[in-house]
Amino acid sequence: MKNKQRPKNERLGLNRLMTLVFLLIIFVSHSIAQDRSRRVEGVVSDTKEPLIGVTVNVKGTTIGTITDIDGRYTIEVKKDNDTLVFSYLGYEPKEIIVGTQTIINVSLSESNKLLDEVVVVGYGTQKKSSMTAAITTLNPNEITNVPRPNIYSALQGRIAGLTVTEATGDPNSSPTLLLRGKGTIDGDTSPLILVDGVPTANLNQIPANDIEAISVLKDGAAAAIYGARAANGVILVTTKQGRSGDTKPVVQLNSYIGLQTLAQFPDRLNSYQYASMINEIARNEAVGSNKGNKYPIFSIHDMEMFRHGVTDDLHANTNWKKEGIRDIAPIYTNHVSVSGNSQLGRYYVSGEYMQQDGMVKEIDKRNRINLRANIVSDITNRIQFQFNTNYIRTNQISGGLADIFNVVLTTSPTIPVRYKDGHWGNTIFANGAHLSDASNVVQNITEYGPRDLYWHTFNTSGGLSYRPINDLTVKVQGTYQHSQSDSQEYNRSWIAWNPLTQSVGQSGPANLSERWTKEYKYDFQTTVNYEKTINKNYIKVLAGFSTESFRSDYIQGYRKNFINESLQELNAGDASTQTNAGGADQWAFASFFGRLNYAYDDRYLFEANFRHDGSSRFAPSKQWGTFPSLSLGWNINKENFMKDITFIDKLKPRVSWGQLGNAEKVGLYLWFGGIDSGPYYNFDGNQVFGTRPSDPENRELVWETTTFYNAGLDGSFLNGKYTFEVDFWKKNTDDIILTIPISTVIGSSSSSQTVNAGKVASHGFDISVGTRGNLTKDFTYDARLSFTAWNSWVVDLKNRASAFSTEYRPGDDFGNYYGYECLGIINDEATLSAYKKIENVSPYVDLGDLQYKDQNGDGRIDYMDVVKIGNWNTKKNFGLNLNLGYRAFDFQIFFQGAFDVDKMMDGATRSTGTYGSSDTNKFDRWTEENRNADALYPRLRRQYTHNTDVLSSFWIKNASYVKLKNLQIGYNLPKPVLSKIGIQNLRFYVSGTNLFTIAPDFLKGYDPEGDMRTDIYPTLRVYSFGLNLQF
């Protein structure tokens, strides 16, 4: 049976690789052994730390090397009187005669020229000055003390080109990342993230303190080395390593405790306001003889009780926010690391424990443990062993928290938490009778679960790097990732009590479902690096290949009717109700890649990348795709004619072209077709097997290709006092893998098919401008503004973009809201009667309702009158970071904002009449008594949807905002005091996150970054106190 086939290839890659690597090692060692020259090695550092990428040359020869990430170098010399030349941008060069030394450690001193950074790029590092692609790096120190468990929140606004949206405060969810617009549709647009060279989805679980560097590869030239998965951009993260200079262990402790509150929350109605509104809705609904009744639902008696605050089982005035939501919830994190250089090698070992309580009472808790050990060890002078391992365990309640807020916001205040006899209140009563059922948030919390989601991931990576000759490095790395999650959802039995009849109205049994998932991923990569400087010609070649394979399996079980509420394992449930399910997925990915760098005299820079990727997501003959890139740069400041213009440290224009693919968005088996099976029916009380043909497959699917153009300019002036980076970019995506509607008569269950069809395009620019310096001797400043602007639009999407589509239209921007243009609230009889004459207008329309515009003037309101009424994409955003230092104090102030963005009112905020409660925004509405045509809401109605069912411009709000995202004040204890007690560094700080939001046009009580809905977890404001200790 084909479907039973085991994945026999999973280990093949490893076996073959290891064999080949050993062959290579033996072979090359043999050839090296004949070389009689002697080896000199050492570490190059400045006063603080090792320098990476220092060029070491034997003077007067072509022999040369550069220092590695730990500042280490090894070089072959022929004679004792050879001279080594150490040169590094931003430092004074140094020459040393070798003599008889075999270890030469060198300390370079900074020149008055700007320090040149080394940037992590795909499969290697590069000097910033020689970079030709658009890459932005982030100094992790900026984000380590942000009191959020997830570093995505901290990235917001700090990287030009990266749009981070934190739509909710739900601690169980992550903000979304979007790099340089949307180059595709129907699929994930988040960037590819690699941690220590391995693709991973877990960056949001990694402590910021473990991160050494973050590089964001923004254009085609930078990302092409990751080929088929790079179209949404690439983020490279490297974790910390021990430093060779630290012969004594360095211990660091970073801790904070934060107090979280809701950043904003709508005001709720009290019982009297609520009941008045329900009566008003009923009056609006009423026809004929019932119209005059002032108390159609809640009686005079009810209203009087509400007005005077007299309460009983049927007349409460409950503040559900107070009942279900905490005022303050704590979060704390302790991170400890030990690092250094020992006989074992350089090591970095860390552990973190994070615990966060959320805003929902009792059940909103989670914690996380991170452990990491990174070791680099020299086996011989030419062979280096690297071993990274980390373990993450998270424990959380498995979701559903947004529902709690929805219940808080929509449950009627007239319901008591408990009736006098102790039963939970969950019915709205009016005029002494049952009106509607409702959820009780306190009951939901008390009877919640227990639910638990445990997630473990174990990630281990081993590598060998071998340098057979000076300029050549061969590196082999294997990584194994294992994740496992188990979730348990227990729902207690429940009853709905009717206090009128003193009986159980409804009840449900307890049930339990458990689900276990495991995932394996194998990743192997081999790279060969060759680097050489000949006179003024610098050349560097990289070639490599990699394979990845993945498999996941799950199994789940369910039972209900438990013998006793105290037993909450599957065995205690009724076996006759049990169900189970299971399944598995797999995919594989293989790649060849290469890069060529060439520089002439550090002035003219050239880079080419190449990637050939194969993916199991396509039909066997369509699996492979090729992704090239080219880029050029010119260091103008190094030209002779610039010699006299000393205020310019750096001025580098660069251009690039590259093609990228987008593979992850394609479903795993779209090429497969096949037959679906399942227990689709039952006879005689027993489920039977059924089969059906799957939706039609597409064996012609190929990669979609994004062609990326980028032009940038980097500049630095007055010794780095002013810096800027500007990039203009454009990208076109062809062969979009697109789900297009097909005739529903064909009978595909989705009425759609996935094909390569259509094109989209985007353009935009990123700007980062910085300045730093000293105002006085004691007062330092460092300010940086990042600005991102982009737009993406439809070029051609076949049937998916039609003239009247409410999703995409040809030539239109992504993210458009399409709906009727609202001409306002109908406020006079003449308008009403004219409007009613228009065809297809609901015959039930009346004063106080919305009037829609007949755009095409055909005397009929229908789908052809639907036009663009807004755009929800955050296309323009900025971040402004100010770091100020005064003596021992430091300040960080961070503003973030977005503009030119709209949001729609949706769900309960758009609804104009249910028995659910509302927020006080609804005070501003059209009523018979107050005929305000400019009101925020039309007249309230219940059994009627003319105003609310279709989207109209009436419900669109401007969501531009500015937020004070972070404010931090730190104090460094004086070093002389600390050194006496053996402490190198101790800093205390206080910080506030999300301190205020300015969004003048938005619905009150809702976050403009999120949606105007009641079923989302509101964003959080956090006040924290922390310390950074090093000894």
Partner 1 sequence: MKKYIYLTTLLCTILLISCEDFLDKGPLDKLSEAAYWERASDAEYAVNGLYECFYELDGGGYWSPGGAPYLDVCTDLIYLRNSWEFGLMPFSDGSMNSDNGWIYAFWSKKYQYIRYANYFFENVDKVKNLMTDDEYKNLCGQARVVRAFCYLRLVQGYGDVPLVKETLGTDALPSRTPATEVMDFVLSELKLAADELPETQSDDAHGRIFKHVANAYAARAALHYAGYYGKTEHYQTAVDALSQIVGSGQFELYEKNSDLVNNFNEIFWAANEGKENKEIIFSDQFIADKRPNNISTCFAGTGWKALQATQACIDLFECTDGWQANGIQFADMNKYRNTKNLSSPLLGKSAKYDPLNEFTNRDPRLTATFFHPTISTTGGTISRTGEFWEPANATFSPDRDNDAYSFKKLVDPTNFNPVYYYGNSENNFPLIRYSDMLLLYAEALNEAGISDPLGKTPLFYVNAVRDRVGMPAIVSSDPSEIREIIKHERKVELLAENVLMWDYMRWKDYEKTMPNGSAFYGYRRETYGQESVLFQTKLKTYPKYNLWPIPTAEMRNNKNMKQNTGW
Is the Cβ–Cβ distance between 129 and 635 less than 8 Å?
A: yes
Considering the complex, state which of residue 21 and residue 441 has its C-beta at the smaller distance from partner 1. Answer: 21
Applying CB under 8 A, among 501, 564, 566, 640 the residue interacting with partner 1 is 501
Considering the complex, state which of residue 100 and residue 943 has its C-beta at the smaller distance from partner 1. Answer: 943
Quick check: 837 binds partner 1 (CB under 8 A)?
no
Report the C-alpha gap between 877 and 963 in whole angstroms.
Answer: 11
Tokens 């049930």 belong to 511
* Smallest separation, CB 590 to partner 1 (Å): 5
Tokens 């639907």 belong to 866
Q: Measuring CA to CA, which residue among 816, 805, 809, 819 is closest to residue 951?
A: 819
Quick check: 749 binds partner 1 (CB under 8 A)?
yes
Relative to beta strand 234-239, strand 192-195 is: parallel
What is the footprint of partner 1 within residues 88-147 (CB under 8 A)? none
> At 423, is the secondary structure helix, strand, or coil?
coil
Report the C-alpha gap between 207 and 218 in whole angstroms.
Answer: 24
Report CA-CA distances (Å) from 285 to 291, 297, 947. Answer: 8, 11, 14
Applying CB under 8 A, among 152, 385, 458, 592 the residue interacting with partner 1 is 592
Q: Please, how many CA atoms are within 13 Å of residue 654, restricted to the half-sphere of its CB?
A: 35
* Smallest separation, CB 461 to partner 1 (Å): 20
Applying CB under 8 A, among 22, 804, 886, 996 the residue interacting with partner 1 is 804
Structure tokens of 348? 């970095």
Annotate 181-242 with three-state secondary structure: CCCCCCCCCCCEEEECCEECCCHHHCCHHHEEEEEEECCHHHHHHHHHHCCCCEEEEEECCC
One-letter amino acid identity for 772?
R
Quick check: 756 binds partner 1 (CB under 8 A)?
no
Stretch that binds partner 1, among 144-152, 207-215, 500-508, 1009-1017 (CB under 8 A): 500-508
* Smallest separation, CB 896 to partner 1 (Å): 39
Considering the complex, state which of residue 437 and residue 639 has its C-beta at the smaller distance from partner 1. Answer: 437
One-letter amino acid identity for 664?
E
Contacts of 141 (CB under 8 A, 6+ apart): none
What is the footprint of partner 1 within residues 264-303 (CB under 8 A)? 287-290, 297
Considering the complex, state which of residue 538 and residue 589 has its C-beta at the smaller distance from partner 1. Answer: 589
Tokens 């790395």 belong to 477
What is the footprint of partner 1 within residues 313-372 (CB under 8 A)? none
User: What is the DSSP code string of 927-953?
Assistant: -SSS--TT-SB----SS--TTTTS-BG
Report the C-alpha gap between 300 and 281 in whole angstroms.
Answer: 16
Applying CB under 8 A, among 440, 549, 706, 918 the residue interacting with partner 1 is 549
Stretch that binds partner 1, among 193-201, 266-274, 433-441, 716-724 (CB under 8 A): 433-441
Contacts of 857 (CB under 8 A, 6+ apart): none
Relative to beta strand 624-634, strand 604-615 is: antiparallel
**Structure letter (DSSP) for residue 157:** T
Considering the complex, state which of residue 136 and residue 623 has its C-beta at the smaller distance from partner 1. Answer: 623
Is the Cβ–Cβ distance between 330 and 352 less than 8 Å?
A: no
62 to 91: interface string for partner 1, x by CB under 8 A: ------------------------------
Report the C-alpha gap between 282 and 292 in whole angstroms.
Answer: 11
Applying CB under 8 A, among 99, 450, 696, 859 the residue interacting with partner 1 is 696
Considering the complex, state which of residue 755 and residue 760 has its C-beta at the smaller distance from partner 1. Answer: 755
Considering the complex, state which of residue 779 and residue 863 has its C-beta at the smaller distance from partner 1. Answer: 863
* Smallest separation, CB 744 to partner 1 (Å): 4
Report the C-alpha gap between 70 and 65 in whole angstroms.
Answer: 14
- Phi, psi at residue 66, to the nearest 5°? -130, 155
* Smallest separation, CB 910 to partner 1 (Å): 14
Query: For the chain, percent helix, then strand, then coil, each to nearest 5?
Result: 15, 50, 35
* Smallest separation, CB 911 to partner 1 (Å): 10
Quick check: 594 binds partner 1 (CB under 8 A)?
no
Stretch that binds partner 1, among 653-661, 926-934, 938-946, 993-1001 (CB under 8 A): 938-946
Relative to beta strand 759-774, strand 867-871 is: unpaired
* Smallest separation, CB 741 to partner 1 (Å): 5
Quick check: 844 binds partner 1 (CB under 8 A)?
yes
Considering the complex, state which of residue 16 and residue 59 has its C-beta at the smaller distance from partner 1. Answer: 16
* Smallest separation, CB 35 to partner 1 (Å): 14
Quick check: 577 binds partner 1 (CB under 8 A)?
yes
The secondary structure element, H or E, covering residue 277 is helix 271-285
What is the footprint of partner 1 within residues 602-621 (CB under 8 A)? 614-616, 620
4 to 23: interface string for partner 1, x by CB under 8 A: ---x-x--xx--x---x--x
Residues in the chain: 1031
Report the C-alpha gap between 439 and 917 in whole angstroms.
Answer: 11
* Smallest separation, CB 533 to partner 1 (Å): 19
* Smallest separation, CB 693 to partner 1 (Å): 5
782 to 801: interface string for partner 1, x by CB under 8 A: -----------------x--
651 to 690: interface string for partner 1, x by CB under 8 A: -----------------xx--xxxxxx-xxxxxxxxxxxx
What is the footprint of partner 1 within residues 368-427 (CB under 8 A)? 427
Stretch that binds partner 1, among 111-119, 252-260, 506-514, 597-605 (CB under 8 A): 506-514
Applying CB under 8 A, among 102, 107, 507, 646 the residue interacting with partner 1 is 507
Considering the complex, state which of residue 742 and residue 882 has its C-beta at the smaller distance from partner 1. Answer: 742
Contacts of 567 (CB under 8 A, 6+ apart): none
Report the C-alpha gap between 30 and 699 in whole angstroms.
Answer: 49
Output the CA torsion 109→110→112→115 (10° steps).
160
- Phi, psi at residue 605, to the nearest 5°? -115, 140
Quick check: 692 binds partner 1 (CB under 8 A)?
yes
* Smallest separation, CB 500 to partner 1 (Å): 8
* Smallest separation, CB 515 to partner 1 (Å): 15
Quick check: 556 binds partner 1 (CB under 8 A)?
no
* Smallest separation, CB 996 to partner 1 (Å): 39
* Smallest separation, CB 947 to partner 1 (Å): 13
* Smallest separation, CB 644 to partner 1 (Å): 45
Annotate 764-813 with three-state secondary structure: EEEEEEEEEEECCCCEEEEEEEEEEEEEEEEEECHHHECCCCCCECCCCE
Tokens 């998270």 belong to 394
Quick check: 945 binds partner 1 (CB under 8 A)?
yes
Report the C-alpha gap between 653 and 720 in whole angstroms.
Answer: 17
719 to 748: interface string for partner 1, x by CB under 8 A: ----------------------xxxxxxxx
Tokens 């809702």 belong to 1006
* Smallest separation, CB 841 to partner 1 (Å): 10
Is the Cβ–Cβ distance between 317 and 274 less than 8 Å?
A: no
Stretch that binds partner 1, among 636-644, 749-757, 978-986, 994-1002 (CB under 8 A): 749-757
Q: For partner 1, how many residues bind (rule: CB under 8 A)?
A: 111
Applying CB under 8 A, among 37, 102, 774, 840 the residue interacting with partner 1 is 840
